[in-house]
Structures are given as C-alpha cells and as structure tokens.
Structure 1
Amino acid sequence: MRKLSLIVIGLLLVPTFLLTSCDQGDEPEVLTPAFTLMKDYMINNNLDIDKIITNADGEKFVVGAPAEADLASFLAKYYIIDIRSGTDFAKNHIEGAKNVTFKDILNEGAAAGSKPVLVVCYTGQTACYATALMRLYGYSHTRALKWGMSGWNTTTAGSWNNNIKDVAKGTPSWSYDKEIAPLVLSDPIISSLSQNGEAILKSRVEQAVQDGFKTVTNADVVANPSGYFINNFFSGADYIGFGHLTNAYRILPLTLASNSYKGLEPTPGAKVVTYCYTGQTSAVITACLRVLGYDAYSLTFGMNGLYHSNSAWTSNQWSVGSSVPKELPLVN
C-alpha cells in the first residue's frame, strides 16, 4: 500500500515539475562571437589597425636612426630592446640596449616603466611585428627602429644589402592591371570562452608572441601567386605605377571600423600574405591580422625584394637617397 501511495504521489508531481521547468525555460543565452567582442574593444580603445600604425598621439610605428648630433637625446629617450641573437648582440649593439628574446617582449614592455620602448632587429621587419603586438597589448608608445641595425651603421647593414632583389621583374607574376574590386567576406572565427573583449585580445597577442613572426619569401610568392591571398599595401597611384603581384588586392586603408577588413580571406589555412615597400608596414599589418584570427604572413623585404630596380621609386628604396645606413657608434 505504501509503495502504491509513493507511485501515485510521484505521478502527481510530474506535471508540476514539467510546468515549473517550462516556467523557467527561457531561451538559452546567445553569446556574442569572440571576434566581435575583440573588434569592438579594439575600435573603442584606439587599437584599430590604423591606430597601431600611427597611435593616438600621432607616433608612427617606426622611427629612423637619429642624426649624430641628436644621438645622446635619442638614447636617453628610449628603453631599447634588441631582439637579435645573443651572438650578434655581443658583437655589436646600440649603447644601452638590452638583449631580449622575441618571446619576452611583453615582459620588457612592463619593465620599461614610463619610458617608450624602441625595438631593434636586423632589418626592422621583426621589430615592427613586435611593435604592433606590444601596441595591441597596451604599450602604445612602442616603436621600431626603421631599417633595423642595417640603418644604424654600415658594419651592420648586411641584412638589407644582401636582400635587395628583382625576383618579380619580367615575370608573369608581375602585373600593371587596374585594381581588383574588393570582396565582402565573413569574420574569422576565434575560439574563446571569454566574453570580455580586452581579455580575448590580450590572450590572442600572447599567443602571437609565442608563435613568432610569420613570413613568406618573395621568391615563393612570385613562383606561385595563386597559392596565396595577396594584399598590397600601396597607394592607388603606386599600385599602377610600380605594378603589383598578379591578383593582389590593394588594402590601403584597412580598418575594423570601416569593415574594410571584410575583404580578407578568413578561411583557416588560406595564407593571407601582405606586402609593402620594405616589409616593415606589412609586418605590422600581419601582426594585427594574426591576432584577429587570419592565417596571415608578411612578405619579406617587400617591394625592395620583389623589384628593387623599378623606376617608379620615390622613397623607401633601400640604398638610395636617405635610405642608407648611418655611421652611428656601436658598442660590444
């Protein structure tokens, strides 16, 4: 009898449970995509791509080596980190510079305190990549030494002197066609359990630092341009005047706020390659794109490695005009 009573009570409670469940059964919360949260945070905090290229105080991501008369004030201004190998640093470096591995750049940003950081490498390209990541992390006054140690002294100029080339000249991979209409594609998908844009961004930057600088060579892209989604960071006039890699999309300007980034290929494994004149701006763009979730790469040495003898040059051509190494002092 007791057993029967328990069964009856249980049956009577079932409808109550179901009704209660229905009353509490709101629709599951729809989470905002991690990319959207990060994108909104970047736009609202002066961390859009254009603000990484030139920060809110008008400081571009690179600064050239100083005139000899200004050397003392230049050295006093910056907390200088040299990310070259320990062996090369020991041979010669800028007075006061600290040798730091690439993976420790975020820690050094904190160690710098209130001083702006100057990142130094061989050619300026890896330093620019590091600078972009540090700016994205909150060290907005970080800058890279333009041309790297190659621009400091002729003794350390080999990395640039040995890499100016004309690998694209006269090949089917070089075109003077008009601009290709930009595509409108979807956002990258970022995996994150966080619903905090700042936390997502910092985690993405930390991962990019651990992964290191991602590059492709000019020879590889020229040999197989269809194997890459190619971005050209030239002005409209230079896109035609210099010519460009076949099927390259011109992406200047490129920002999150304007949605111009939607012209980039977000599919995982689709190699998004950006090139510029020197490989330094493309390093900054590549850092931003990798953090945003693109499979992004920088084409090393830019136009200087693709078609250095091109007659359309007016600036940023290595070894011409002001783009030559200075004879500033080195210590060891």
Structure 2
Amino acid sequence: MRTINKITAVVLLFFLAACSGGGNKTKQVESAASTEVKSAPVAVNDESQKLLKYLEESGDYVNGRNFPSLIKASAVNAELGGKIKIIDLRSPEAFAKGHIKGAVNVDFTKIPDYFTNVIKPFEYDKIVMVCYAGQIASYATSLLRLMGYGNVYALRWGMSSWNKDFAADSWLKAVSDKYESKLEMTENNRPALTDFPQLNSGKSTGEEIMAARFNRLFADGYADAFITADQVFEQPQNFYTVNFERKDKYDSGHIPGAVRYKTSGTLGIVPEMESIPTDKDVVVYCGTGHNSGFVTAYLRLFGYKAKTLMYGNNAFMHSKMLKDKSLLSWLPFTEAEVGNFPYVKN
C-alpha cells in the first residue's frame, strides 16, 4: 500500500507541474514556432546547380578549414628563398617604389593567363598574392582557390604589414570611427527566397561554367567588387548589407539594415544564398575586409552583385573595436601589425 501511495504522489506532482510552469512553456514554444514565417523553397536554375555541384565535388573549399587562406608577413619573410612565389597586384608605379624581393608585378586581369601560360603553379609550396591592404589579394586568392589552385594565399593586411612605408598610405590612413554613432542594434530579417542569378554562360558542365566565370571575373577587374564605408553609410537603404560575423559582434552594433550571415554555414547552402537578393547591390563586410573579400568572390562567381566593404569594421568603428577587443575578439589594425621587413625598389 505504501508503494502504491508513493506512486500516486509522484504522478500527482508530475500532473501539477505540467499544469503550471512546464505546461505554459510548452505552449509558448509551440506558439512561437507556429508564427514563424518560412519562405517556400525555390528551385535553383540549371547552371547554378551545376556550378554548386562542381564546387562541392572539388572539395567544398568555402566550408573547409583553409577558408579563408591568409598568411602573415612574418611567415612570408621566413620562407623567402624557398619554393615560394610572390605575385604583387599593385600598380606598376607602386611596385617600383618598393616591393618584396623576388616578387613579380602582374596585372589583376592577366592572372588567369599567368597561371596557365607563364608559371607552373604547383611547382611552388606557396603562391602569395600581395596588394595594398590585403583585400584585393583576398578576392583574387578566393577565385584561384575555387579554381583548384590549393597553394595560393593572400598576404594579411597587404603591404601595410610588410613595412611602415606602405602602411602610412593604406591601413594607418584608413582606420576610422566616423560612423560609430550611426550603428544599429536591432536585428534585421531576411527577405523571401529567390532563385540564384542567371549566369547565361552557355556552358554545359560545372567545370566549364567555373572556368568561364573565373575568366570573366578576372577580365572585369576588381574595381566594381569594392565599396567604401562613406558610400554605404550615406545611403544604406540602397544596399542589401551582409554582416559576416559572429552574433555577439553583430549585436554590439552593425550597419543600418545589415543582416547577419554565419561565417560557416552560408556559402554553398542553397536556402542561405537564396535569401540574398539578386536585384540589389550586396555589400559584404567583416572586421577587416579580408574574409569578406573571399565571400564576395564566391558570390560574384554565382552572379550576385556583391561588393566588399573596404577595411571592414575598421573603416567606421575602429575606436569601438579597440575598446571591445578582448571582449569580442575584434582585430583592429594598429601599428603593432606593421613589420619592419626589407624591400627593394626598381
């Protein structure tokens, strides 16, 4: 009888708990789930499907541990004299004023031909792309990696990290807290899903489509793939702005209208990419402009009108990054990032 009474008591307590807090929580969860609006799935056009499949079968670089492929100036300096190739994407004038010993100056639009007809890329342990601030090099490196050149890296911070003579007119000049007071704290929702852009390459296989897009993007140059903080903050409503950062960084303050996308779990994932509009300029930004350079290249490969925000958060909230560096693991550019490595002149 005592055993029966104990069982009855336990059942009664469970029933009372279910009728109080526990039951209400269940209803709240169900209510929240029932009001969530989900976009209907959208079919992906044929060429984009083939390109997605080809990139996934080729190693899914954008979701691997080597993305983004950045290298520090100290590591490059340590390997000079070894099997390393330095490709400088700056103007001939900038190259003549100073460059890394052994570097070659190659125009951005000539990169496909250079890799195909001038060098044998896989004879090198590393091929390092170099530019002014590291973001053009990041954009180029992303395309080259996607094309299958797995030994290509972008020099982090560009020539600004090599010597103070280059940093003065680039990163040290670019950091700013000009728009800290205009940051937004509210979370912004994504629009309804739409199909990927139509590529219209006329090619029939994923490999052929990849090659056509790769050559096209280099031929187009890089000018249209970048945008400044001034341009974005002056008229933020003109852009679909992608914040490519952790949620805590996004929540601490972001560009008005910006929508957060996960640093892993966005590229190559159909529902995520279908939430990015095809009829607006897409601004992608991160802390430094390096990661967003890699992301922008991938999006432009699929035909999105994507642009990297030059210098990332450093260009508009540098003081806040310095203040919250330990709390949020920001990477603000300071003179501590500038090396004292030698360079040569033509």
For this structure pair, what is the TM-score category when the shorter chain's length is used for normalisation? 0.7 to 0.9
Give the corresponding residue for 1:191. 200
CA distance in structure 2 between the partners assigned to 1:39 and 1:47 by the alignment: 9
Q: CA RMSD in A?
A: 2.0
- Find 1:45's aligned residue among 40, 58, 61: 58
CA distance in structure 2 between the partners assigned to 1:89 and 1:259 by the alignment: 43
Q: Deviations over 1:137-166 (max 9, x none)?
A: 221221000000000011111211111112
CA distance in structure 2 between the partners assigned to 1:227 and 1:245 by the alignment: 13
Per-residue deviation at 1:60?
4.0
User: Is 1:103 the counterpart of 2:116 in the alignment?
Assistant: no
What letter matches 1:76 in structure 2? G
- Find 2:317's aligned residue among 307, 312, 331: 307
Q: Which has the higher helix share?
A: 2
Give the corresponding residue for 1:290. 300
Per-residue deviation at 1:179?
5.2
SS in 1 for 2:109: helix
Give the corresponding residue for 2:241. 230
Structure 1 residue runs of 5 or longer lacking an equivalent are 1-31
Give the corresponding residue for 2:132. 122
CA distance 1:78–1:182, shift in 2 (3 Å): farther
- Find 1:216's aligned residue among 212, 218, 227: 227
CA distance in structure 1 between the partners assigned to 2:128 and 2:291 by the alignment: 16
Counterpart mapping for 1:1-332 below 5 A: 33-51=46-64, 54-55=65-66, 60-66=68-74, 71-110=77-116, 111-114=119-122, 115=124, 116-157=126-167, 158-171=169-182, 174-178=183-187, 180-181=189-190, 183-213=192-222, 214-241=225-252, 243-252=253-262, 253=264, 254-257=266-269, 259-267=271-279, 270-310=280-320, 311-313=323-325, 314-319=329-334, 322=336, 324-332=337-345
| 8 Å CA contact retained: 1:154, 1:326 | yes
Q: Deviations over 1:180-214 (max 9, x none)?
A: 35743322211022220110011001101111221
Per-residue deviation at 1:262?
1.7
TM-score (ref. length: structure 1): 0.81
Percent of pairs with identical residues: 31
CA distance in structure 2 between the partners assigned to 1:107 and 1:218 by the alignment: 33
What letter matches 1:317 in structure 2? P
SS in 2 for 1:167: coil
TM-score (ref. length: structure 2): 0.78
- The number of equivalent residue pairs is 288
Q: Deviations over 1:229-263 (max 9, x none)?
A: 0000110111112x101121111232214642122
| 8 Å CA contact retained: 2:324, 2:330 | no
CA distance in structure 2 between the partners assigned to 1:99 and 1:218 by the alignment: 29
What letter matches 2:284 in structure 1? T
